[in-house]
Amino acid sequence: MLENIRLSFQGIWSHKMRSFLTMLGVIIGIASIIAIVSTIKGTNEQIKQNLIGAGNNNVSVTLRQGEDDYYMDQGLPQQVTVLKDDMKERLHHLDHVVNASFYYNRPYVDGIKRGSIRLDSGKACGIDTDYLNTSGYVISDGRGFVKSDYSDIHKVVLLDETAAVTLFDAGSALGNTIEIRGEPFTVVGLIKKAESFQPVIHSMEDYYTYYQDASGTVLMPDVCWPIVFQFDEPQNVVLRAESTESMSTVGKEAAKIMNEAVLDKEGDVKYKAEDLLKKARELQELSASTNNLLLCVAGISLLVGGIGVMNIMLVSVTERTSEIGLKKAIGARKRRILAQFLTEAAVLTSIGGVLGVVAGIILAKVISKVSQTPVAISVPAIFGSVGFSVVIGILFGLLPSIKASNLNPIEALRRE
């Protein structure tokens, strides 16, 4: 085998230009596949991050009316009761759940202000003691809520960076007072996400989805919620799953438990989990269906490259007819001749495969730079491409190798 490989390199090197042109189809095909697969993988990761975020694996289960959030200004719906303690305990102990937190939520509150400065469409939440840890927030300045804030119903709030900058400009927000629908609250701390994440925004829909979280958030102890919003309201839950893959299962199981508090099972008001992972997969499948067509085109170029290998190997057999005849005359068997030409074809395409991988990585980086599309180099695709190029060489080198091994040594020696 080693002798066959040595002879293959010797033959390729002696016809450098012809060998390179033969490999060109394989190089282009492999480079195209590597670039497309890397772009697909990078795009899929971008889609998942844009929807799920920095990877904290949070699943929110909220009360919905049809496909929309329930309008909380109407108070607690008649067909929905408050969540019982045993339900909350069961949610904490669901499989694949690391932590769970119950909270009140208003996605748009117009009455958040400091003097004449207003936080337009700010988000307000009434949270329990587990909310910050479960949702992936950390205290960046000041303090978080303590037990006495809950037991003594202290009117205190935490602000995220957007809310703090909007309400207090460059000054410090800590210790100052804001109003929420006419009620004064003291700012005791500032919060931020434990992992910074900025989604890639390509459309107005992306912008709108991101803007909902970017308009500013104000958190208060959940015991203070009835002071501001004077209705009994349903609580939502945010759960932290063990992994991204378990988010969908966790969300469905949590919604099933919470819907035990819904009396009218046939109504359109129900607790539903926002299945971000499902949305990500749907978008990824849509992206993949387009990219699969590109992979088919790249596969055609590989086929063309394989035909080129077959052609040049047939030429090589014709050129080396006398050499083959001499080898067979001194006792070389068919399988020895077959192995030699198959090895030469496999070496030729494997070199093309390696060069194609290098070209594909460079091409992927260029595409990323020009189109601002993320890429993620796929290691399995690299090894798979090189292996596939060897297979191409063996398949398309088989016919010339059989032809060489079947030559009649007497007739082969006669030919010049």
User: C-alpha distances in angstroms, 160 versus 52, 138, 388?
Assistant: 19, 10, 52
- Residues 159-166, mean pLDDT to the nearest whole number: 90
- For position 270, what pLDDT does the model report? 86
More confident of the two residues 266 and 115: 115
Surface-to-core class of residue 406, CB atoms within 10 Å of its CB (0-12 exposed, 13-18 middle, 19+ buried): exposed
- Residues 203-215, mean pLDDT to the nearest whole number: 46
pTM of the model: 0.58
Read off the pLDDT of residues 134-149 as tens digits, 9 standing for 90 and up: 888 899 999 999 999 9
More confident of the two residues 241 and 155: 155
Give the domain ranges of the chain: 2-50+282-414, 53-274
Residue 212 has pLDDT above 50, yes or no: no
- For position 103, what pLDDT does the model report? 92
- Residue 208's pLDDT band (boundaries 50, 70, 90)? very low
- For position 221, what pLDDT does the model report? 96
More confident of the two residues 251 and 415: 251
More confident of the two residues 325 and 1: 325
Residue 53 has pLDDT above 60, yes or no: no
- Residue 37's pLDDT band (boundaries 50, 70, 90)? confident
- For position 205, what pLDDT does the model report? 43
